């Protein structure tokens, strides 16, 4: 069971251009296929490159999936826990229960190999979030502790997503989001988000009022009126009561030193000229910093010196914290997808709200960071990435993996396409697209067999991705040629392949053939080009004189080293992993 992910063969990714959207080269990717196989296929391209992983695995309720008619079909990962290897493990460890696989055992069998692969995608400063409910919270936390280590546990978020008024003992009104780091020492010491819908609204109102009312008193009066009418909807900005030419702001006691003795000096009140009352533990900043804040008008004073001074903090500078308690109605996710698919009464069961994913990603990603969701479902993560990019003009990228063809094509990809290109909502109104696009791929054949066919026939079926540079492959051939030349072939004249083929004129012939081979490799991918390169490399690496077969003559140490490298390449060529870096990344 522990090594099950190692037994899964690498597969190729086959492009489906008809299902792509926008500019496929933008870095976004949607993959159709079992996520265990898909993760293995993606690993050579993206190992160590993902900044944030979000997964929303099945919650193991016993009724996790629906068929085409919307009826519950139960568990869909049984094929992944029915292999002889896992059956053998279950028989030994789980016992007779393994014959029908209890829910918890089956769920753990599904999650274990997937987490093993997911960890390998993360950057050293990367993080992973996983949504889960009460049923498997403890089990998932144990798995995360095993793969990531307790020392890399960042925290658990309690998401209050419902209100249950039904008669019961304990009303369950929450779910969890686990968070772990690849390497907590490499992670940012503090997470701060710049993206909040309320903040954007506040900034917009402030900008309008500053432009409309140049008089400061009138501007403050109009803003105070608006603030009182909307205060109950302004969390966490309910204390931002003031406005000036710089925008909406509040006063915070951030100049006060928390918990220990700080700096002691006088700050004179601008009207009374007397020193203001010092905070109990002194000031947080040294005198030079305080002088700079005073010069820039960032210190707020009371009516007289008896009031503690405060720091002026504009809404534009607000950075939120990722709290362990998060409240967002779970029904928002259902309403969002109904808005996108007005033609369907129930397009998808219990989709996550984009607000939840935006909250997580806004704290942990920026720039062109890569986000991976291997349980993509309705495509909420892709939707959230496009919304964030539109809000802060960043270039985040996503990879979504979904198993079921009907879902990934009709819902996952279609949702992201509508968000990117625009759509007509349930009211018949046109909603403009956010921009962006994605490449769509499905899983192809196992990599080794397709690679072997490429060696024989010199081409790959249309749509598959193999882009090994000709010179890289020529170098591989050269190593094999070196290995061949080290073994005496007694029945051949001269005892070695290259001398037997080319004789004493091998040097001149080699120069000509190398030129021809290089030319062919850049204009053709046929087997002829590779054959010429192989023969040329054999001639190049071979000896320039008839070698002796005297067993007492030691072999050249340099050629022995090359032979060792060649032998290693020859062995690992039966495993696709080493080929990965030379393949064209999606």
CA-based torsion, 559, 561, 564, 569: positive or negative: negative
Q: How do residues 397-434 score in pLDDT, each as one tens digit? A: 999 999 999 999 999 999 999 999 999 988 889 999 99
For residue 155, is pLDDT > 50?
yes
pLDDT at 326: 87
**Average pLDDT, rounded, for the chain:** 77
> How large is the average pLDDT for residues 185-190?
91
> How large is the average pLDDT for residues 253-265?
80
Q: What is the CATH number of domain 4-194+321-445?
A: 3.40.50.150
579 or 387, greater pLDDT: 387
The residues, ordered by sequence, that sit 6+ positions from 131 with a Cβ below 8 Å of its Cβ are 54, 55, 56, 57, 159, 175, 176, 177, 352
For residue 484, is pLDDT > 70?
no
Reported as half-sphere exposure (CB side, CA atoms, 13 A), residue 394 has a value of: 22
Q: How is the chain split into domains, by residue range?
A: 4-194+321-445, 197-252, 257-304, 467-582
> How large is the average pLDDT for residues 445-466?
49
Which of 581, 439, 545 lies closest to 28 in space, CA to CA? 439
Tell me the residue ranges of DSSP E strands in 365-515. Answer: 370-373, 397-402, 422-424, 430-432, 439-446
pLDDT at 581: 35
> How large is the average pLDDT for residues 479-506?
45
User: Minimum mean pLDDT among 186-195, 237-246, 435-444, 484-493: which range?
Assistant: 484-493
| pLDDT band with cut points at 50, 70 and 90 for residue 108 | confident
- Per the CB < 8 A criterion, the answer to whether 322 and 359 are in contact is yes
User: Minimum mean pLDDT among 37-41, 299-303, 401-405, 576-580: which range?
Assistant: 576-580
pLDDT at 459: 42
> How large is the average pLDDT for residues 550-556?
44
The secondary structure of residue 402, as a DSSP letter, is E
> How large is the average pLDDT for residues 26-39?
93
> How large is the average pLDDT for residues 115-133?
96
pLDDT at 564: 59
The residues, ordered by sequence, that sit 6+ positions from 89 with a Cβ below 8 Å of its Cβ are 1
- Per the CB < 8 A criterion, the answer to whether 126 and 53 are in contact is yes
| pLDDT band with cut points at 50, 70 and 90 for residue 301 | very high
What is the C-alpha separation between 193 and 396, in angstroms, rounded?
Answer: 15
- Per the CB < 8 A criterion, the answer to whether 299 and 269 are in contact is no
How close are the terminal C-alpha atoms of the chain, in Å? 30
What is the C-alpha separation between 10 and 31, in angstroms, rounded?
Answer: 14
What is the C-alpha separation between 550 and 498, in angstroms, rounded?
Answer: 18
| pLDDT band with cut points at 50, 70 and 90 for residue 3 | low
pLDDT at 230: 87
Bridge-based pairing state of the strands 50-55 and 370-373? parallel
Q: Report the length, in residues, of the chain.
A: 586
| pLDDT band with cut points at 50, 70 and 90 for residue 468 | very low
Which of 112, 125, 135, 116 lies closest to 61 in space, CA to CA? 135
Residue 559, judged by CB atoms within 10 A of its CB (0-12, 13-18, 19+), counts as middle
Q: Which residues pair with 131 in a beta bridge?
A: 177
pLDDT at 483: 46
Q: How do residues 204-238 score in pLDDT, each as one tens digit? A: 999 999 999 999 999 999 999 999 998 877 877 88
What is the C-alpha separation between 548 and 1, in angstroms, rounded?
Answer: 53
What is the C-alpha separation between 49 and 537, in angstroms, rounded?
Answer: 36
Which of 506, 476, 581, 499 lies closest to 546 in space, CA to CA? 499
pLDDT at 493: 39
The residues, ordered by sequence, that sit 6+ positions from 215 with a Cβ below 8 Å of its Cβ are none
For residue 472, is pLDDT > 50?
no
Task: Tell me: cis bond preceding 570? Omega within 30 of 0 counts.
Answer: no
Q: Which long-range contacts (CB under 8 A, 24 or more apart) does 575-578 make?
A: 575/448, 576/9, 576/10, 576/44, 576/447, 576/448, 576/451, 577/10, 577/44
What is the C-alpha separation between 546 and 541, in angstroms, rounded?
Answer: 14
Q: Which residues pair with 32 in a beta bridge?
A: 402, 442
pLDDT at 281: 85
The secondary structure of residue 256, as a DSSP letter, is B
Strand, helix or coil for residue 266? coil
- Per the CB < 8 A criterion, the answer to whether 337 and 415 are in contact is yes
For residue 550, is pLDDT > 70?
no
For residue 193, is pLDDT > 90?
no
User: Minimum mean pLDDT among 28-32, 170-174, 375-379, 581-585: which range?
Assistant: 581-585
For residue 43, is pLDDT > 80?
yes
| pLDDT band with cut points at 50, 70 and 90 for residue 549 | very low
Residue 26, judged by CB atoms within 10 A of its CB (0-12, 13-18, 19+), counts as middle
φ, ψ of residue 444 in degrees (nearest 5): -105, -150
- Per the CB < 8 A criterion, the answer to whether 498 and 509 are in contact is no
What is the C-alpha separation between 556 and 486, in angstroms, rounded?
Answer: 10
For residue 511, is pLDDT > 60?
no
| pLDDT band with cut points at 50, 70 and 90 for residue 557 | low
pLDDT at 150: 96
User: Minimum mean pLDDT among 12-26, 145-159, 188-202, 474-488: which range?
Assistant: 474-488
> How large is the average pLDDT for residues 252-276?
86
For residue 84, is pLDDT > 80?
no
- Per the CB < 8 A criterion, the answer to whether 119 and 148 are in contact is yes
For residue 304, is pLDDT > 50?
yes
What is the C-alpha separation between 100 and 398, in angstroms, rounded?
Answer: 37
What is the C-alpha separation between 523 and 525, in angstroms, rounded?
Answer: 7
Which of 184, 179, 153 lies closest to 52 in space, CA to CA? 179
238 or 486, greater pLDDT: 238
Tokens 């792509």 belong to which residue?
Answer: 20
| pLDDT band with cut points at 50, 70 and 90 for residue 519 | low
Strand, helix or coil for residue 326? strand
Bridge-based pairing state of the strands 50-55 and 242-244? unpaired
Tokens coding 422? 């625009």
pLDDT at 300: 92
φ, ψ of residue 377 in degrees (nearest 5): 55, -120
pLDDT at 274: 94
pLDDT at 517: 54
pLDDT at 357: 95
């Amino acid at each position: 069971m522990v090594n099950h992910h190692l037994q899964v063969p690498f597969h190729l990714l086959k492009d489906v251009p008809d299902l792509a959207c926008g500019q496929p080269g933008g870095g976004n990717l949607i993959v159709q296929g079992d996520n265990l196989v898909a993760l293995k296929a993606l690993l050579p391209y993206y190992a160590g490159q993902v900044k944030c992983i979000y997964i929303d695995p099945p919650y193991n309720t016993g009724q996790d999936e629906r068929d085409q008619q919307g009826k519950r079909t139960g568990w869909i990962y049984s094929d992944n826990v029915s292999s002889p290897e896992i059956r053998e493990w279950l028989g030994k460890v789980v016992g007779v229960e393994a014959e029908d696989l209890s829910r918890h055992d089956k769920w753990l069998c599904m999650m274990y190999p997937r987490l093993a692969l997911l960890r390998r995608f993360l950057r050293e400063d990367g993080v992973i979030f996983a949504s889960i409910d009460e049923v498997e919270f403890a089990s998932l936390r144990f798995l995360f502790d095993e793969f990531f280590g307790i020392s890399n546990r960042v925290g658990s978020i309690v998401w209050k997503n419902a209100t249950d008024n039904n008669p019961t003992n304990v009303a369950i009104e929450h779910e969890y989001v686990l968070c772990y780091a690849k390497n907590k020492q490499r992670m940012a010491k503090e997470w701060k988000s710049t993206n909040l819908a309320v903040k954007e609204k506040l900034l917009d109102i402030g900008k309008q009022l500053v432009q409309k009312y140049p008089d400061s008193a009138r501007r403050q009066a109009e803003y105070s009126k608006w603030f009182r009418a909307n205060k109950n909807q302004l969390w966490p900005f309910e204390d931002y009561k003031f406005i000036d030419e710089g925008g909406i702001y509040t006063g915070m006691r951030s100049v006060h030193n928390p918990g220990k003795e700080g700096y002691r000096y006088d700050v004179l009140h601008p009207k009374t000229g007397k020193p203001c009352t010092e905070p109990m533990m002194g000031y947080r900043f040294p005198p030079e910093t305080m002088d700079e804040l005073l010069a820039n008008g960032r210190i707020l004073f009371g009516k007289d010196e008896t009031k503690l001074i405060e720091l002026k903090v504009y809404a534009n500078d607000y950075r939120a914290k990722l709290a362990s308690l998060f409240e967002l109605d779970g029904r928002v996710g259902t309403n969002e997808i109904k808005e996108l698919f007005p033609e369907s009464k129930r397009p998808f069961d219990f989709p996550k709200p984009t607000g939840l994913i935006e909250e997580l990603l806004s704290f942990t990603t920026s720039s062109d960071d890569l986000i991976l969701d291997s349980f993509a479902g309705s495509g909420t993560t892709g939707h959230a990435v496009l919304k964030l990019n539109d809000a802060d003009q960043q270039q985040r990228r996503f990879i979504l993996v979904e198993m079921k063809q009907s879902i990934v094509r009709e819902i996952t990809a279609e949702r992201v396409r509508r968000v990117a290109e625009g759509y007509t909502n349930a009211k018949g109104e046109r909603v403009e697209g956010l921009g962006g696009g994605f490449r769509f791929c499905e899983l192809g054949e196992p990599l080794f067999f397709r690679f072997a066919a490429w060696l024989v026939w010199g081409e790959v079926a249309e749509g598959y991705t193999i882009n090994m540079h000709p010179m890289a492959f020529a170098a591989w051939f050269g190593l094999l040629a070196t290995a061949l030349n080290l073994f005496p072939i007694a029945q051949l004249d001269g005892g070695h392949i290259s001398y037997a083929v080319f004789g004493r004129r091998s040097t001149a012939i080699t120069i000509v053939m190398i030129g021809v081979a290089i030319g062919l490799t850049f204009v053709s991918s046929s087997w002829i080009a590779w054959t010429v390169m192989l023969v040329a490399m054999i001639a190049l690496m071979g000896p320039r004189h008839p070698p002796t077969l005297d067993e007492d003559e030691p072999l050249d140490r340099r050629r022995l080293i090359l032979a060792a490298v060649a032998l290693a390449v020859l062995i690992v060529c039966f495993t696709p992993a080493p080929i990965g870096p030379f393949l064209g990344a999606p």
